[in-house]
Amino acid sequence: MSDHAPKPPQEPGEDPIRHHVFDGIAEYDKRLPNWWLLTLYASIIFAIGYWMSTQHFRRPTDGARVTAAIQEIRAAKLAAAGNYDDAVLAEMSRNVGIVTAGAATFQSTCASCHGANLEGGIGFNLVDATWVHGGKPSEIMKIVTEGVLAKGMPTWGPVLGPKKIAEVVAFVLSKQPSS
Ligand code: HEC
């Protein structure tokens, strides 16, 4: 049957009937219920707000929060491990929390001689890729722990302890141009 079929008769007060008739079947033009419309509009508004909050207000994404949490756990494990070999120190140098802690120690303890940007001064430049006492992470750890008293580099082992020294070495490593 075509669109032009006559519409069925309507009772007063009934919902309007849609224009089209298919195979003799006509449909009421029912209004969508308010709860349905409300849910639709509320979810549209929520979607815009959520999109703004993740894309424009720099709220950390779930992925970033998980990565940060894993880094924190790794940092705690690395610090507890106590054996600061080359591999452990290299991993520490890629850990934001450890490097931040090391940076604080560096600024308060080392910057007076090695410069706020590690550019050197009384002490050597620590970012010029030239290492007088060896540039392997464990070698840097050793020189910071033991110092070179005769040349004016203090012995930091008893002052800072291994954990803080490992952090500060991680910070120095993180600042190397090649890493
Ligand atoms: C009182 C000044 C002074 C302070 C403070 C100081 N250093 Fe030094 N540092 C030196 C001097 C001087 C040397 C050079 C030693 C030499 O001539 O062998 C040196 C050497 C070094 C070296 C060896 C560099 C190389 O080329 O092998 C490292 C690594 C180092 N310092 C790290 C640190 C760290 C980390 C701290 C903070 C915990 C620190 N220093 C604090 C004076 C200082």
- Residue 131 is part of a domain; what is its CATH number? 1.10.760.10
Asked whether residue 35 is domain-assigned, the answer is no
Closest ligand 1 atom, residue 122 Cα = 12
pLDDT in tens, the chain (179 residues): 455 656 667 777 788 888 888 898 988 888 889 999 999 999 999 999 998 887 877 777 788 889 888 888 888 887 777 788 898 899 899 888 899 999 999 999 999 999 999 999 999 999 988 899 998 999 999 999 999 989 999 999 999 999 999 999 999 999 998 64
Residue 66 burial class via C-beta count within 10 angstroms: exposed 0-12, middle 13-18, buried 19 and up: exposed
User: Is 53 among the domain residues?
Assistant: no
Confirm whether 65 is domain-assigned: no
- Residue 120 belongs to a domain: yes
At 173 the pLDDT is 94
Please count the structural domains in the chain.
1
Cα(37) to ligand 1 centroid in Å equals 70
User: Quick check: 153 and 140 in contact, CB under 8 A?
Assistant: no
pLDDT of residue 38: 97
Residue 161: inside a domain: yes
* pLDDT the model gives residue 20: 87
Q: How far is the CA of 117 from the centre of ligand 1 (A)?
A: 14
pLDDT the model gives residue 21 = 87
Cite the DSSP H helix spans in the chain: 34-55, 62-81, 86-92, 96-105, 111-114, 137-146, 157-174
Within a domain: 145 = yes
Q: Which domain holds residue 89?
A: 82-174
Whether the CB-CB separation of 135 and 127 falls below 8 Å is answered with no
**Contact status, residue 128 vs residue 134, Cβ threshold 8 Å:** no
Residue 12: inside a domain: no
In the reported structure, the alpha carbon of residue 102 is separated from the centroid of ligand 1 by a whole-number distance in angstroms of: 15
Which pLDDT does position 7 carry in this prediction? Answer: 66
